[in-house]
Structure 1
């Protein structure tokens, strides 16, 4: 396997001949926010009016894409060694959240699809393949990936595209009904079957140039716009191959390596796409604030809002966003700090996506009431997010697929990892803090360790109990440790899931509970390692206690009462970030509008 570190000749250089230096993440976020502007302004080319007009017409939003072009967004998808700006998954997360806040379809269609496809090339491509794709992306091109397998509930291993040996390469036959961006892509990454069965060596991956494939043997198919509910304008094409000759040089890695390559690539794509989805909920919360006009909670500083009030709903939505983002940010930073463990964390954050964020948007819809049917302005974008967000959690990244990634590892974790492994480094819990260099070749399918869950008992052991909020935080933390202990006992008592046979429903329930325990560990870790000087709110135990209380409710733990001041403090922070526009996520970045 070739390594990206072997590339020594960047595609682009500055005038002085040295590699172009990327700005810091915060500087790049500020710049893209300024370029995208206030989304509520009607004349803004990347504003809500323009985005919704394109959605209704089921077309690509060209004005908004032109703004991203002016930023050089494609450079964010190309490694610095190849002349781009990609040096950290977390930096890409922060930059792309500015896009996803405005439109999930724009974020997926313009860029993340290209990045997901490019991951295969950065990971397994030859030096020539990498330079070719890097040059295309840096010149504004798009890449597509043919991976969805709609005929088999998106089980990518059961590919309907087959490659058989032919003169100088493969002969490819079959179809993929959904291939985002194919109509305008200069590169297509294709995952196809090259051997019978469903084992680890049945698939291969190819890097193709669609324009160079012979006509009559390759066809871009079209889907009626009426068939597309979410991500309209982007998920409108498919691919069909008929005895299409493909040269051997198109292979990404050896024949039969497609399953392993895909699973490693999923660790990056699942983590980032699921983490980016939090931006849609950020917009949903902001929209509900505009519509609901949440007021300061009660006459007393420590009086909580009525649990059925708009203020309480807004506070709970913010808490859900923070608890989800804690796991998302920790999983993203683990790509640098604990890359061999990210098969667990990427699947965990992606499986939690529909359980938390989609439910949160639907709860916020209750604040909007009948306004949910509005098709213009911020409320119209809220409705669009409701349609778009479920699409990003389908397929190989859906809940079932992520459970299937975690489930086989639970028994080994119960035997060798839980309450044994060393806890994760503090840097894993500090959003935006410096990170060591990212390297694709450090990713692994699994190594049987879980440092995030190991952080849970370590964090709980040091929790203070000086006031009611701290005492409840400690109590809930202890319950989470008990949950992990009970989880270990139950896993060890179950018959191991077989590779091909039926799986007991108990495994699915235990997997879901494990993901919630990981989220609790992430919340405690973020709070524990927060700096009161740089972000007093994250250092306040109120939000962490409220987040653990929400997790406890999902676990069926309902005998711990949350102090009233927790919701009050959280709601005040919601209003503060709304009035002086800042993101509602852990990064708390200033917004253009």
Structure 2
């Protein structure tokens, strides 16, 4: 399946799958039908089903790489077509005790059906009970009641994975998951709410599902009764990481749009790309993209190799990567200038990506803030810093040819000890500082990052548990952010050290810019790097653009052209 070839050059006039057609559908707030027809022809639904059930859903990092071309064109197409199907069905694939249920769902998805994820959102409304989904046992069935708001594809889905309260207790055993066939429900007991319009993802269908004394068969239960919270937490961890990784395609495409503009647009007798500030901004956005991709790739592979620690890694990724993308997009919009506001023309796709990015948080909302998830992991991190140990699993995360085990769910997890990834950062920085004494800035950055790592571990080890909770103490959110930034630095160093055969990773220019930009988040006011580093990264961008390869780590072929 070569999505890039099938989509073609989005800048080519007359391309029915190009930017102009995408923008027109977005302006009308309608589904991009030509795009959906192409994905149907390519049987993209198979990407959401595991191979053991007849699909093509492989490892997490492979999934991100395969579907990223869709998000380079139109995130709304990727979301509207099938990402909610994946996010919902993950709950079924992870619950391995009902082969009949899995086979039936796989058959429906492979046949073109869509699945939505329905859950109440009590934390978003004044009356918590107003949006509480409940499922009460009545003989040989469950009776569903309640309202699920903000459900993607609520009016297009044939099935729904429903997260409902099945016990009136305040613990992890109070909720269960049900796989509901929406087409088989009585009309009087099930209602699809009107579509909700949003600023971003305007051509997606976002609505709600209402249930009133709605009977569903007992065999609709996914897994065991009372395991809904645990199962959906693991599915959210995986699905959120995948969605975050796919969003990098939007920054990739936006970076190319701005580069294309900067090379073509002339001011004061020279190209915008020749202006130092514009060049530094574009190079910096490229560095942010690579940093984000390193973190996403590391977290995605940790889902397979380090499942006991991956919840914290996924939370850090979902917290930091959107901030990196937002910062890069804001800076790139300055280079684009007034064209950023245009809703037509060759640069309008940048504005669409800019509007769509914040709405991605609605696709898989997590009612536990990422900072709290990270904060719960911080004591294990501090313990790992005091009692360092080696981990072969953490090394294999950075080696692309390592065979990954399948994604699984452990219904009885034990609290993870240590932090296999952050345990690598101190020895790597020490080694880097010793190797690069001639590269003064890299040696200095390594020293400062070591200091920040030690400060974080010391602060956490001395703090009471309640002080680590962002809800109780302002330092909690700051500590979680600093942890996420140091995790990103670890991901960058790990991939840089273990993949020196890649062109951009062969030298030190990228890692010097990347670590400095991460350090500036820990230490505001950190001066920018040398201009020759920007020149080197900008030259790499030009090379990739001319060769029609991705700006992400993968360097896959991409169909797009620079102006002549």
Give me the TM-score of the superposition, normalised by structure 1. Answer: 0.87
Q: Residues 429 and 419 (structure 1 numbering): CA distance in 2 closer, same or farther, change over 3 Å? A: farther
Q: Which residue of 1 aligns with 2:270?
A: none
Q: Is the 8 A contact 1:148 1:179 kept in 2?
A: no
The match for 2:429 among 445, 451, 460 is: 460
1:380 positional shift: 1.6
| Structure 1 position 571 matched with structure 2 position 538 | yes
| Structure 1 position 347 matched with structure 2 position 315 | yes
The SS at the match of 2:152 is: coil
For 2:189 and 2:398, locate their aligned partners in 1 and report how far apart those are by CA, in whole Å. Answer: 51
User: RMSD of the alignment, in Å?
Assistant: 2.8
After superposition, where does 1:489-504 map in structure 2 within 5 Å?
489-497=458-466, 503-504=472-473
Q: Which residue of 2 aligns with 1:74?
A: 45
Q: Residues 178 and 91 (structure 1 numbering): CA distance in 2 closer, same or farther, change over 3 Å? A: same
| Structure 1 position 193 matched with structure 2 position 160 | no
After superposition, where does 1:292-331 map in structure 2 within 5 Å?
292-293=262-263, 309-331=277-299
Q: Is the 8 A contact 2:384 2:419 kept in 1?
A: no
1:89 positional shift: 1.3
For 2:18 and 2:198, locate their aligned partners in 1 and report how far apart those are by CA, in whole Å. Answer: 22
For 2:33 and 2:152, locate their aligned partners in 1 and report how far apart those are by CA, in whole Å. Answer: 16
The match for 1:204 among 147, 171, 176 is: 176
Q: Which residue of 2 aligns with 1:149?
A: 121
After superposition, where does 1:291-440 map in structure 2 within 5 Å?
291-293=261-263, 309-394=277-362, 397=365, 401-416=369-384, 420-423=388-391, 425-430=394-399, 432-440=400-408
Q: Residues 160 and 252 (structure 1 numbering): CA distance in 2 closer, same or farther, change over 3 Å? A: same
Q: Is the 8 A contact 1:146 1:191 kept in 2?
A: yes
For 1:292 and 1:205, locate their aligned partners in 2 and report how far apart those are by CA, in whole Å. Answer: 51
The SS at the match of 2:151 is: coil
| Structure 1 position 475 matched with structure 2 position 447 | no
Q: Which residue of 1 aligns with 2:88?
A: 117
Give me the TM-score of the superposition, normalised by structure 2. Answer: 0.91
The SS at the match of 1:369 is: helix
The SS at the match of 1:244 is: strand
Q: Which range moved further: 341-350 or 395-404? A: 395-404
Deviations 1:10-39 (A, max 9, x none): xxxxxxxxxxxxxxxxxx4xx111111111
The match for 1:170 among 133, 137, 142 is: 142
Q: Is the 8 A contact 1:148 1:396 kept in 2?
A: no
Q: Residues 176 and 572 (structure 1 numbering): CA distance in 2 closer, same or farther, change over 3 Å? A: same
Q: Is the 8 A contact 1:113 1:180 kept in 2?
A: yes
Could you tell me which runs of 5 or more consecutive residues in structure 1 were left unpaired when the two chains were aligned. 1-27, 296-303
1:200 positional shift: 1.0
Q: Which range moved further: 391-400 or 174-183? A: 391-400
Q: Residues 490 and 404 (structure 1 numbering): CA distance in 2 closer, same or farther, change over 3 Å? A: same
Q: Is the 8 A contact 1:218 1:241 kept in 2?
A: yes
For 1:120 and 1:338, locate their aligned partners in 2 and report how far apart those are by CA, in whole Å. Answer: 19
Could you tell me which runs of 5 or more consecutive residues in structure 2 were left unpaired when the two chains were aligned. 266-272
Q: Which residue of 1 aligns with 2:156?
A: 184
Q: Which residue of 2 aligns with 1:300?
A: none
| Structure 1 position 551 matched with structure 2 position 523 | no
Q: Residues 56 and 559 (structure 1 numbering): CA distance in 2 closer, same or farther, change over 3 Å? A: closer
Q: Residues 275 and 502 (structure 1 numbering): CA distance in 2 closer, same or farther, change over 3 Å? A: closer
For 1:230 and 1:112, locate their aligned partners in 2 and report how far apart those are by CA, in whole Å. Answer: 16
Q: Is the 8 A contact 1:497 1:504 kept in 2?
A: yes
The size of the alignment, in residue pairs, is 551
Q: Is the 8 A contact 2:132 2:146 kept in 1?
A: yes
